[in-house]
A and B are shown apart, each in its own frame.
Chain A
Amino acid sequence: MATSTVSRVRRQLPTSPWLFAVPGLVVTGVFILYPFVSTVVNAFTDRRTLIPGEFVGLANFRELLHDDMFWIGLRNSALYVLGVVPALVLLPLLLALLVQKNIPGIAFFRSAFYTPVVASIVVVGLIWVWLLDERGLVNSLLETIGVGRVGFLSDQWLLLLSAMAVTVWKGLGYYMIIYLAALAHVPRELHEAAAVDGAGAVRRFLTVTVPALRSTMVLVAALSSVAAFKVFSEVYLIAGPTGGPAGEDTTLVMLVQRTGTGLTGRVGYASAISLVVFVVTVALMLLVLRADRREES
């Protein structure tokens, strides 16, 4: 590629780059970043929904350290990352391998596997609460095969697990697509060479597919861990607004919502929690990107 031409292509018309970028930058700046800056400011005040706050320094953060609910939230959000991310890195990859071959009807299956992604999370929540109910479909099937009914919606850990299952269920199709795209770029020669060497399907998967897809797996890990740490809807819908028995299933973002909303919301304190969520998210992202860079070099 002729570098000189490339840079000339890029350099032409000095004003237009901004013209191109301005609509996006304005919208993002006015409606996302500016409100977020306000949140950051609020984190250092005792502002409430209807009562303007005063600057309180680090008081909100000091309170966090002694707030049991905050630690429960942190624990659950972290558990969510640990539980969901491995499943979302691995299962969609296997699914992508399953739908990769162009056998008759595969287009239908690919689309069908994507439907949970398309459906709104509220609908998904309603459907799963109805399925996992003490008398719902899953339990009556379990009873039919002799396992007996399971209290998916009453036990603290089963609730969290059920929410994770819903997250994985809804995410399968999305990450499957990402893998599918990456698989198309794995040179077939590698597979053929391995096959000639007599490697079986499992070994080819481990020695050819996985290494070739490493950067994609890192990406999936990054995307899914950020989403998992910020989880709200699934747990809110499955475990209920108060976060399961004794609030033991509360996640950090649920805590933000509970503390900060309504007419009596403690906006300042909730902002402080938001800030923690933001910082951890950025850290997760950087961590994954660093792992990626190390791998590249």
Chain B
Amino acid sequence: MPTPSRRTFAVAALAALVLPLSACGSSDDGSGSTDASGKVEGDITFQTWNLRANFKPYFDGLIADFEKKYPGTHVKWIDQPAEGYADKLSADAAGGTLPDVVNVSPDLLAPLVKAGLALDLDKAAAKYRPEYLDGAWTGQQIPGVGGTYAFPWYLNTGPMFYNKGLFKKAGLDPDSPPKTYDELFTDALQMAQKSNGKVATLANVPTVEDFGRYGVELMNKQGTGFAFNDAKGVELLTKYKELYDAKALDPQALTATPESSGKMFLTEAVAMNPGSALDLENFKKQAPNLYKNIGITDQITSTGHVNMYVMGVMVNSRTKHTPAAVAFAHYVTDAQNQMSFAKQVAIFPSTAGSLDDPYFTKEDGTDETRVRIAAAKSLKNAVNYTPVLFSDQMKTALRNEVAKALQGKESPKAALDNAVKACDQLLQQQG
């Protein structure tokens, strides 16, 4: 749930007059260097994103081991809450107080790279590249800028949960949930019809990832403009409009948040919802009835590839201790440490070969393991459909145009044309 405060938000902020006007320049005007070959020593800070609440012992241990391995280093760990992370990074980047090693997602990485704040690992740490899955490594590259700017860290892909009880009531086979969008549309319409519009199948409007999984080309080949307003994109949105009109897409979908749609699923008002293995525990506790009827399946996709999220660990190009920062960023993301992190929580390592570990291939009869194995399998050919250059402002623009189409205020074609136009403009303004 969003929790801004009254003096909310780093806005129209200015930073201008006092800010060193170097933010745009290349990385060699800072005190950092791209040479990571020196002695690994010094004090560095490491910033993660909302991991402290659940994984404090893991990170404390990780840091202790690193400091033991490299005497003379000291790592200070900072964790930031989920809310306001981009604002926090903005203030730090603008104010020159960005930590040495930072946990970023690709969409946060892109602007930092363009401002020259991320170290190019193809120059500083190319030797580590073979340790990672190729797709994960290239996932840290920014279209239009040469180089790779973060070590790939954990991957994630959520399964799709569905409510077998509701499927049964609607006369659908609870053991063969929809796999492609076409199957989904058919099932959802039947569900709505059989329940007189009381039970929706989906709680969320389509996102850019949905367009990707439907097989729409999201950007042009050069990465200079968006293209999801093609015939395929319009087809998807037209289908969603049909669902919305039939109440197969929940009427509250236009204002839904991940939390609210999760709650709808929990209260059995919607029949399917994306989630992660973590949610199972939550269902067990909060909705025992639902838990008995829970079905787990792959993400809906018509391309044969599911979507994955890639987290990265970047090194601040202005760090005073480049060797230590690079060594630590690599240490956090190396095969061994990613594996032990994966065992703590339902995420997946991005290092080469790790997904073949028995932990990700061997059934032990529990639901958790089943979810994990299925996800690991689908990850092997998963795609990160979120365009790296897709900013929050673009997400909002797409979401609003999609809503207009669903409400019937605009045709799906016009809505997507507008969304592409708005996103292209924002893309240009990002510079």
Residue ranges of A at the interface with B (Cβ–Cβ < 8 Å)? 35, 38-39, 41-43, 45-53, 120-122, 125-126, 129, 133-135, 151, 153-154, 159, 232-233, 236-237, 239-242, 244-247, 256-267, 270-271, 273-274
Is B54 an interface position by the 8 A CB rule?
Answer: no
**What are some 26 contacts across the A-B interface (CB < 8 A)?**
A39-B13, A49-B15, A49-B94, A49-B111, A50-B24, A51-B23, A51-B115, A52-B23, A52-B24, A120-B6, A121-B5, A135-B269, A153-B260, A154-B251, A154-B254, A232-B4, A233-B4, A240-B255, A242-B399, A257-B4, A257-B9, A260-B9, A261-B9, A261-B11, A263-B108, A264-B111
Assess the A38–B16 pair: CB atoms within 8 A: yes
A257 to chain B, nearest CB (A): 4
Is B8 an interface position by the 8 A CB rule?
Answer: yes
Assess the A260–B11 pair: CB atoms within 8 A: yes
Chain B positions 382-407 with a Cβ under 8 Å from a chain A Cβ: 391-393, 396, 399-401, 403-404, 407
Residue of B94, B267, B393 with most partner-chain A CB within 10 A: B393
Assess the B23–A261 pair: CB atoms within 8 A: no
- A270 CA to B9 CA, complexed, in Å: 12
Assess the B396–A247 pair: CB atoms within 8 A: yes
Which residues of A are found within 8 Å of B48, using beta-carbon distances?
none
Which residues of B are found within 8 Å of A258, using beta-carbon distances?
392-393, 396
Q: Give 14 new A-B contacts, CB below 8 A, not counting A120-B5, A151-B252, A240-B2.
A: A39-B12, A47-B16, A48-B429, A49-B15, A50-B117, A52-B23, A122-B5, A246-B400, A258-B392, A261-B9, A262-B87, A264-B111, A265-B90, A274-B12
Contact pick for A264, options B16, B269, B430, CB 8 Å: B430
Contact pick for A267, options B14, B252, B255, CB 8 Å: B14
Is B168 an interface position by the 8 A CB rule?
Answer: no
Assess the B21–A52 pair: CB atoms within 8 A: yes
- A12 CA to B96 CA, complexed, in Å: 48
Nearest chain-B residue to A69 (Cβ)?
B400
Assess the A233–B6 pair: CB atoms within 8 A: yes
- Contact of A270 with B263 at beta-carbon distance under 8 Å, contacts A38-B17, A244-B255, A245-B254 already known: no
Is B93 an interface position by the 8 A CB rule?
Answer: yes
Q: Which 6 A-B pairs have the closest CB atoms?
A: A50-B115, A245-B254, A246-B403, A38-B14, A270-B12, A263-B111
Nearest chain-B residue to A237 (Cβ)?
B2
Nearest chain-B residue to A126 (Cβ)?
B1
- A240 CA to B252 CA, complexed, in Å: 12
Assess the A261–B90 pair: CB atoms within 8 A: yes
Is B82 an interface position by the 8 A CB rule?
Answer: no
Residue ranges of B at the interface with A (Cβ–Cβ < 8 Å)? 1-6, 8-17, 19, 21, 23-24, 86-87, 89-90, 93-94, 108, 111-112, 114-115, 117, 251-252, 254-255, 257, 260, 263-264, 267, 269, 391-393, 396, 399-401, 403-404, 407, 409, 426, 429-431
A144 to chain B, nearest CB (A): 17
B101 to chain A, nearest CB (A): 17
- Contact of A264 with B263 at beta-carbon distance under 8 Å, contacts A51-B431, A247-B396 already known: no
- A270 CA to B10 CA, complexed, in Å: 11
Assess the A129–B1 pair: CB atoms within 8 A: yes
Assess the B112–A263 pair: CB atoms within 8 A: yes
B245 to chain A, nearest CB (A): 15
Assess the A48–B252 pair: CB atoms within 8 A: no
- A52 CA to B429 CA, complexed, in Å: 12
B290 to chain A, nearest CB (A): 14
Which residues of B are found within 8 Å of A120, using beta-carbon distances?
5-6
- Contact of A260 with B12 at beta-carbon distance under 8 Å, contacts A49-B90, A236-B4, A245-B407 already known: yes
Which residues of B are found within 8 Å of A264, using beta-carbon distances?
111, 391-393, 426, 430
- A273 CA to B9 CA, complexed, in Å: 15
B110 to chain A, nearest CB (A): 8
- A53 CA to B17 CA, complexed, in Å: 11
Assess the A262–B12 pair: CB atoms within 8 A: no
Which residues of A are found within 8 Å of B17, using beta-carbon distances?
38, 41
Assess the A262–B90 pair: CB atoms within 8 A: yes
- Contact of A260 with B13 at beta-carbon distance under 8 Å, contacts A52-B24, A154-B255 already known: yes
Assess the A50–B90 pair: CB atoms within 8 A: yes
B362 to chain A, nearest CB (A): 41
Which residues of B are found within 8 Å of A240, using beta-carbon distances?
2, 255, 257
B326 to chain A, nearest CB (A): 22
Contact pick for B430, options A48, A241, A261, CB 8 Å: A48
- A266 CA to B392 CA, complexed, in Å: 12
Nearest chain-B residue to A50 (Cβ)?
B115
B48 to chain A, nearest CB (A): 17
- A256 CA to B7 CA, complexed, in Å: 13
Which residues of A are found within 8 Å of B254, using beta-carbon distances?
154, 244-246
Which residues of A are found within 8 Å of B399, using beta-carbon distances?
242, 247
Assess the A122–B4 pair: CB atoms within 8 A: yes
Assess the B13–A153 pair: CB atoms within 8 A: no
B386 to chain A, nearest CB (A): 14
Contact pick for B11, options A43, A45, A265, CB 8 Å: A265
A11 to chain B, nearest CB (A): 39
Which residues of B are found within 8 Å of A47, using beta-carbon distances?
14, 16
Residue of A120, A122, A159, A270 with most partner-chain B CB within 10 A: A122
Nearest chain-A residue to B11 (Cβ)?
A260
- A133 CA to B260 CA, complexed, in Å: 9
Assess the A263–B90 pair: CB atoms within 8 A: yes
Which residues of B are found within 8 Å of A53, using beta-carbon distances?
16
- A122 CA to B83 CA, complexed, in Å: 13
Assess the B251–A151 pair: CB atoms within 8 A: yes
Assess the A52–B19 pair: CB atoms within 8 A: yes
- Contact of A262 with B392 at beta-carbon distance under 8 Å, contacts A245-B403, A273-B12 already known: yes
Contact pick for A50, options B23, B255, B264, CB 8 Å: B23
Assess the A274–B11 pair: CB atoms within 8 A: yes
- Contact of A256 with B5 at beta-carbon distance under 8 Å, contacts A48-B431, A135-B267, A245-B254 already known: no
- A49 CA to B117 CA, complexed, in Å: 13
Assess the A246–B2 pair: CB atoms within 8 A: no
- Contact of A246 with B407 at beta-carbon distance under 8 Å, contacts A49-B93, A263-B93 already known: yes
Which residues of A are found within 8 Å of B260, using beta-carbon distances?
133, 153
- A271 CA to B112 CA, complexed, in Å: 22
- A125 CA to B409 CA, complexed, in Å: 30
